[in-house]
Structure 1
Amino acid sequence: MFERFTDEARQAVKLAQANARRLDHHLIGTEHLLLGLLDQPQAVSTEILGRHGLDHGRAYRAVADLTPRAPKDALDAEALESIGIDLSAIRDRVEAAFGPGALDRPPQRDRRGNLVSGRHVPFSPRAKKTLELSLREALALKHGYIGDGHILLGMLREGQGLGSRVLADAGIDAEAVRREVVLRLGTRRKAG
């Protein structure tokens, strides 16, 4: 399925993963897909959702409010800092080497039992369903590609994830957005 994704759709998925890491989440959910869509200034979904009053900043704040971060253990940090260990400097160096949130992700093992970096963040079942529905939306529109607009249509069709809740809480009329996306995609015939 990913071979059918346009550059914008691939970028949305990469940005979804980056947003999940930034929020210290261990799964990519529909809310992260929404953030990934809104993180691209030139994307169809960003343009349409922006006209309806939702931008990345507003959506990010809503997701952060709906999914609070796990509290960090401040006592350990204070104890280490009291003996001269600067945790923020260590975190910066580790993240520079292994990516944002590297210390926050649990270590994982590959098939042979070796530890891997934990850089991959898996999709939640609802996010997987959204991506599957994006393919169905593309096929229904007789498009040979999956664009960022198709992902938004898949999210609207899935309708149960946190991404849909953020849209609803923002007062966005899902049917109106759906009609606009379909109309816009009908005018954009883009190959892979």
Structure 2
Amino acid sequence: MIEINNRWPEIIKQFDELNRLRVAIGFFSDDEKSKLLTIVRANEFGAYIRPIHGEWLTIPTKATPMGDDGGPMPARQIPGLFRPKGKNILAVSDGAGGLTVMYMLVKEVVIPSRPFIRTALFKNRDKYQQTMIKGVRHIIEGSMTARQVLTIIGEQAKGDIVRETISWDSPGNMPATVARKGTNDPLVDKGILQRSVKYKILEGWHD
């Protein structure tokens, strides 16, 4: 039997912490229009993309060099890039009379919904509930704090989202993307999403 009579003040303090704190899991950026959040939203909810300027979207090929951000280099940064007459591509000369295709030109792109965040959290919600129940017991025993309990849940959920991005396979990538990546892993590209999953313990419920 656990002796808790002389520990009530600390137990109440930790329960107050549980009521006051929350753990947020996902992708964070100070810029709501950041490239990362744009990619996450497009995959989680789906997107219909048309060019903002001009009439074409540029779809990188396997030959497209990588930029400083780890993604395909923007077309405007590639020296010697041009559009061959009558072809919906952007290419550079290969130096031997041929062309190296850097981008395919398309009028629109439809990204299907791949709700990996919601799926991961839904699949594992019972696990998080059990972690919280065990955590409350540890708080009563004096072997864990409220922040430690939330940290464990944050780590669990972070790992679950990462695993969901890796295992997700349908809907798959469009053929041009498969050709560039060499695989049909729609949510894996240089590990950008996987490295970007984070969690934060926040004060209150209105941050």
TM-score, normalising length: structure 2: 0.27
Larger radius of gyration between Structure 1 and Structure 2: 2
TM-score, normalising length: structure 1: 0.28
Larger proportion of helix? 1
